[in-house]
Amino acid sequence: MENSKDYEKDFKFEWKIRDEIKILSHGQFMMPGFIDAHTHAVQFPNLGLGYNKCLLDWLEIYTFPLEKKYSDTDFAERVFEAVVVRETILIKIIS
């Protein structure tokens, strides 16, 4: 048999949740926040760099110089190993 105290606590929690529900007016909408969870393997070394830059500046300062480094197969192998093993398999980004 259920404990009445537990039931009362659950019931109060349910009402608390209902108090936090926002009813939108006609014409209003709600959008969830954007979480960028994808990874471009070739851009992995740039992760977190240049967020204060415009796109073209970011490309010229970070992306294009980095992409030239991939002609070195040792560099490319190190980066892809880090991306595939550490960032996708170990932290379960692959869905």
**Based on the structure, what is the number of domains in the chain?**
1
Q: What is the pLDDT of residue 1?
A: 44
Q: What is the pLDDT of residue 95?
A: 47
The pTM for the full model equals 0.50
Q: Mean pLDDT per 10-residue run, the chain (95 residues)?
A: 52 56 82 69 84 91 94 92 73 53
In a domain, 43, yes or no: yes
Q: What is the pLDDT of residue 16?
A: 56
Residue 34's domain spans which residues? 4-89
In a domain, 95, yes or no: no
Q: What is the pLDDT of residue 32?
A: 74
Dihedral, CA of residue 83, residue 88, residue 89 and residue 94, to nearest 10: -150
In a domain, 94, yes or no: no
In a domain, 12, yes or no: yes
In a domain, 67, yes or no: yes
Q: What is the pLDDT of residue 83?
A: 81
